[in-house]
Amino acid sequence: MKIAFLGLGIMGRPMALNLIRGGHDVTVWARRVESMQPLIEAGAKSAASPAEAALGQDLVVSMVADAPDVAEVMRGVAQGAAPGLVAVDMSTIAPAAARQIGLDLAAAGVDFMDAPVSGGEVGAIAGTLSIMAGGSDAAFAKAKPALECMGKNIVHVGASGAGQVAKAANQIVTGMGVLAVAEAFAFAAKNGVDRNRVREALLGGFAYSKILESHGQRMLDRNFKPGFKSWMHEKDLNIVMQTAHELGLCLPGSAATAQMFNAMVGSGMGEEDSIAVLKLLERLSGQE
Amino acid sequence: MKVGFIGLGAMGRPMALHLQRAGYELFVWARRPASADGLPATLCATPAELGRQCDVVFTIITSSADVEAVALGSNGLIEGMAPDSVLIDCSTIAPDAARRIAARLAEKGIHMLDAPVSGGTQGAIDATLAIMAGGDAAVLERVRPLLDCLGQRIVHIGPSGAGQVAKACNQMIMVAAIEAAAEAMRLASASGVDCAKVKQALAGGSAASRVLDVMGERMVKRDFAAGIEARLHHKDFGLVLEAARKSGVPVPLTASVAQQLNALMAQGWGKDDTASLLRVLERA
């Protein structure tokens, strides 16, 4: 399949690489020209703009930072697109923003699908991302062979925006999950109990989770390198809280968690992994 | 002096009348012209036309987008107001938006003060509003006689946007206090204790506050008809949380109260008084 890939950051680069390895004919575009180089070396063509990248493609995939970036990139795609093009945005943005971009692109004859991912850089490299798609059946069917090169658990959640809703729900669970594990560890430590043993005990019971297992271990190792940067988790929780505000939805746990991440960004921990919330808890309770 | 007034709602209408009674010639514009009925004022067709006639223009409308449209949109104030005239925006909007609008107006030599108010409908009627102003101090001094017609405590907080920051602080404290009063009332009645007695006792002690007086009384009487509609506090909390986020300042209590406001909205009580936070607690 002829695929254009737009946005080659921490996530986008390995995802595009997996499309090339999957035998697809890939054209890349990135704002910073130098980030295209490794992909060109791996066999990709390059384009000077999103519009040029979209010319003659079967599929366009984007992976950029935020809603305004997606909108801008997709405006370019609409200019270069032939009617019937499917465009898949895998960035994490607000559901309402995704729906609006979908409407705008439909007017240009482009079938837009939101397909955000979970699994981080590790999942992107291994091609084991969870992918949550929102859009038409036709767009999902068309994109599926490409998505299968990048992820394992690929679910067509529903209509336009539904993928972003699922991703926001994912961030609620992971955000509170990371905070819950950090609080459990802070609790154990303040009680003078070995956190390693606590983690080990909990892994066998109902508190088992992937977060307790892998994020928990990194907390114990005090390895705060990202992973998933706290400022990005803060951004995602802001999408959750803004959507809740607009809908009139009471999310007390998410709200409290969002404030912890807000504090992390404000106190200079934004570039660290979100598990650094443990350090914030320790600071608040004098456990440093 | 000719004074323009835009936003003739529960707050704006009594404020406009105070200015007119003080001898200022009043010009108004309203999205729904009917809301100007019975006002001793000249009705203008557009904000631009109003701007052309007036030396000072007041606005008190709901959202950042509304103020932006009235000030900068097509047929907006910016097309009519003369250099050196003054826009006093009494709306509660985002500090960022206030700064942005002021900067655009400044390009045409038009001054803007952000001057949000606190004190509610009663304060507007009694001309006892607290006014927190952001912008050029000299401009504030020029228009202070007009503001004196509307309020008692007029404070220059700082440069453009500073008034809105102060208002955000005001809303944080006030609505959190309403939630605290609601929770106390809820605990009292759930414990089989008379709310009215609790409120009466508290009024004499360290927990005494204006919020407990006014909102506590509404809760005791179960009078949820708006004073200030809760949807406006809900809107304000969106602004506060956004500002906190931009500053990287954690506001755990505000965020928690915001969720109670979300629940209030979900119950369909947005047009009732914020004392309805008590009813949210009763749903749990």
pLDDT over 70 percentage in chain A: 100
pLDDT for the residue B211: 94
pLDDT band at B47 (very low <50, low <70, confident <90, very high): very high
* All residues at 6 or more sequence positions from B87 whose CB lies less than 8 Å from its CB, including other chains: B56, B57, B59, B71, B77, B81, B105, B110, B111, B112, B113
Q: What are phi and psi of B95, to 5 degrees?
A: -55, -40
Cis peptide before A204 (omega within 30 of 0): no
pLDDT over 90 percentage in chain B: 96
- Minimum CA–CA partner of A231 in chain B: B248
pLDDT for the residue B201: 93
pLDDT tens across A170-223, in order?
A: 999 999 999 999 999 999 999 999 999 999 999 999 999 999 999 999 999 999
Give CA–CA dist B203/A251, Å, rounded.
Answer: 33
pLDDT for the residue B49: 98
What residues of chain A lie within 8 A of the CB of B241, using their CB?
Answer: 241, 245
Mutate which of B245, B260, B279 to disrupt the A interface (most A C-beta within 10 Å)?
A: B245
pLDDT for the residue A152: 95
How far B261 CA sits from the closest chain A CA (Å)? 8
Q: What are phi and psi of B92, to 5 degrees?
A: -100, 110
Q: What are phi and psi of A86, to 5 degrees?
A: -105, 125
Running DSSP on this structure, what letter comes out for residue A75? Answer: H
Given an 8 Å threshold on Cβ–Cβ distance, is A256 in contact with B249? no
How far A103 CA sits from the closest chain B CA (Å)? 22
Place of tokens 């509170």: A176
Is the CATH number 2.60.40.1180 carried by domain B165-283? no
pLDDT for the residue A120: 86
Average pLDDT in chain A: 96
pLDDT tens across B172-212, in order?
A: 999 999 999 999 999 999 999 999 999 999 998 999 999 99
Q: Say yes or no: B63 contacts chain A, CB-CB below 8 A.
A: no
Assign B260 to helix, strand or coil.
helix
What residues of chain A lie within 8 A of the CB of B248, using their CB?
Answer: 262-263, 265-267
Averaged pLDDT for residues B133-137 = 98
Tokens of A158: 């529903």
pLDDT for the residue A202: 95
Given an 8 Å threshold on Cβ–Cβ distance, is A266 in contact with B262? no
Averaged pLDDT for residues B239-245 = 95
Q: Which domains, from first to last, does chain A contain?
A: 2-158 (3.40.50.720), 165-284 (1.10.1040.10)
Give CA–CA dist A277/A106, Å, rounded.
Answer: 41
Give CA–CA dist A29/A250, Å, rounded.
Answer: 41
What residues of chain B lie within 8 A of the CB of A247, using their CB?
Answer: 262, 266
- Provide the residue ranges of all domains of chain B, joining segments of one domain with +: 2-159, 165-283
- Minimum CA–CA partner of B231 in chain A: A248
Q: Say yes or no: A267 contacts chain B, CB-CB below 8 A.
A: yes
- Say if residue B57's pLDDT is above 90: yes
Q: What is the pTM of this model?
A: 0.87
Largest interatomic CA distance in chain A: 65
* Cβ–Cβ under 8 Å, residues B149 and B5: no
Please state, as a whole number, how many other Cβ atoms lie within 10 Å of the Cβ of residue A211: 20
- The four Cα atoms B98, B104, B108, B112 give a dihedral, to 10 degrees, of 0
* Cβ–Cβ under 8 Å, residues A240 and A261: no
Residue B235 annotated as catalytic = no
Residues in chain B: 284
Tokens of B282: 């009763």
* Cβ–Cβ under 8 Å, residues B89 and B67: yes
Q: Which of A234, A245, A251 sits opposite B238 (nearest CB)?
A: A245
pLDDT tens across A98-154, in order?
A: 999 999 999 999 999 999 999 888 899 999 999 999 999 999 999 999 999 999 999
Give CA–CA dist A38/A40, Å, rounded.
Answer: 6
Is the CATH number 3.40.50.720 carried by domain B2-159? yes
